[in-house]
Amino acid sequence: MLRKIWAIASINIYTTFTDRNLLIIMIVTPLILATIISLAFGNMGGSSPITNIPVAIVNLDTPPVEGSQVVDSSGSLVSAFIPAINEANTDTVALGACDAVQRADSDETTANTYLTDLTEATLLDDPAAAKAGVDQGDYAAAVIIPAGFSESISYTQDDPAITPLAIEVYGDSAQPISAGIIRSIVEGFTNQLLTGQITIASTIGTMIDRARQNPAFGLGFAAAAGNGSFQPDFACAFTPGFNTIQIEQQSVTGKQADFNPLVVFGSAQAVFFALFTANGVAASIIEERRQWTLQRMVVSPTPRVLILTGKLIATFLVVMLQLAFLFIGFTVIGSLLEGEVKSVWGNDWLAIIGLILATSAATAGVGMFTAAIGKTAEQANWIGSIVSMLMGILGGAFFAVGVLGNFEWVTRLSVVRWGSEGFTKLASGQGDIGLNLVFLALIGMALFAVSLTVFARRQDI
């Protein structure tokens, strides 16, 4: 039984991959097209950094009153994005010794300088307006600092408990990399704030314990605090960019290096052309009926379901091999352009293989379905071409899907988008492709089942 299925599948694979003209369309054309489009978009080798990520900042928090033990954490965060605010509020955040250390260490290229290059922040008052801006694609993300944020994470004598309020980062799903960078920056910053508060709490706690054990120390400490000779500088713990932001800077740089238009357009073109291939292989069922080889299979002692299974497997394997060849091709092109051998698809090989399999299933499913609804080979071919073109356009094979703004959701109807997005995520080091895998595999299986039913009902086989 398996021998017969494999015989049917292998004859399709063989006839496909021995057709020179077909190979040019399947492999060479997408490689050339994607390379041209990627070169037109620039940033080919990933050497150019991401800059000026548009971000909206909404600070609903009020600055602490003078003399209060509350640290102006929200002001510090805002100043990380907008240095002008920082300068205007120098009286609320005293950098002290840390400032000197930082300047000595990092010359002029400070973390804040880096952030101003990386981001282009706009201060807004209304969270709704900020979110609307994100929805419209004006901002990659909106950072909304809630009212009472600084107080919630400040350790004070009256309220020693720290119950932090959450900062909201509202990201644009059409710009996942940029939104992810903003989210990382905010996370790094809040971690830094908490670290600072913990430092203060533990320092004061230690002093209190020592004073209890040694009343003389306690009296001396009180005297020193009273006459001003004890001036602890905790600012280092809160200084944005001094510590955590620098770590974030490394992280962001890493992401920048992985971002490559060849990946985005290459993967989209690969899936787009795979749709054509899948349709062509699937439509061969109808074509073979015309050339009578299908009938010849039917009159052999081979159950019809095995013939269809062989055809389904052939479609899947042809597409899978095409995608594999294309991804190898894009890796070679990427390496040539960069001058070093490197995988443009990232290094999570298991995920890459999984995504190729899921994408193959989905594209083969679409191909089978478009072939099934066509009554003749010609009809199947033009239906397949239209569906492939639409999916390619919607899925970002020719332009970045972000330009669709509010209609970006439409792109979710395209398997090209799901596949391309998954590969782009893997290339940028993100591993969260679970949804892409599940969607692609499910759509593949569902369309296979529908196609099987249609073919069987029409008695094409």
Partner 1 sequence: MSKQALVEVRGLKKTFKRKDGTVVEAVKGIDLDIYRGEVFSLLGPNGAGKSTTISMMSGLLTPTEGDACIGGFSITNQPLEAKKLLGVVPQEIALYPTLTARQNLEFFGRLYGLHGRELAASVDETLEFIDLRDRQKDRVDTFSGGMKRRVNIGVGLLHKPQLVYMDEPTVGVDPQSRRRILDTVIRLQQDRKMTVLYTTHLMEESQELSNRVGIIDHGQIIALGTVGELIQKVGEEDRLVFNVGEQPISEALLARFQTEVPGVTKATYETVELKPVAGMEESAELVVEKRSTGQMVVVRSGQVKDGTIVVYAKRGRKALPDLLRIANEMGVDVLSVEVREPDLEAVFLHLTGRALRD
Positions touching partner 1 (CB under 8 A) are 3-4, 7-8, 11, 14-15, 18-19, 291-293, 295-303
Separation of alpha carbons 237 and 367, rounded Å = 58
> How near is the Cβ of 14 to partner 1 at its closest, in Å?
8
What's the CA gap between 399 and 418, in Å, rounded? 15
Distance from C-alpha of 280 to C-alpha of 18, rounded to nearest angstrom: 15
- The DSSP bridge partners found for residue 169 are 143
Nearer to partner 1, 309 or 436 (CB): 309
What distance in Å separates the CA atoms of residue 401 and residue 418, rounded to the nearest whole number?
A: 12
Residue closer to partner 1 by CB (options 161, 292) is 292
Decide whether 194 or 298 has the Cβ nearer to partner 1.
Answer: 298
Cα dist from 304 to 70, 124, 279, 344, 385, whole Å: 77, 66, 21, 43, 28
| Nearer CB in complex with partner 1: 66/292 | 292
| Residue 372 buriedness (CB in 10 A; 0-12 / 13-18 / 19+) | buried
Which DSSP category does 141 fall into? E
Give least dist CB 297 to partner 1, A. 6
Q: In angstroms, what is the minimal distance from the CB of 324 to partner 1?
A: 23
Q: What CA–CA distance (Å, rounded) separates 73 from 93?
A: 9
Strand positions, DSSP E, 351-410? none
CB of 442 to partner 1, least distance (A): 33
Q: How far is the CB of 315 from partner 1 (least distance, A)?
A: 17
| Phi, psi (degrees; rounded to nearest 5) at 121 | -90, 145
Q: How far is the CB of 439 from partner 1 (least distance, A)?
A: 36
Least gap, CB of 293 to partner 1 (angstroms): 5
Query: Which of 394, 318, 411, 423 lies closest to 361 in space, CA to CA?
Result: 318
Q: What's the rounded Cα separation, in Å, for the pair 189 and 282?
A: 54
- DSSP 3-state of 371: helix
Pick the closer one to partner 1 by CB: 19 or 126: 19
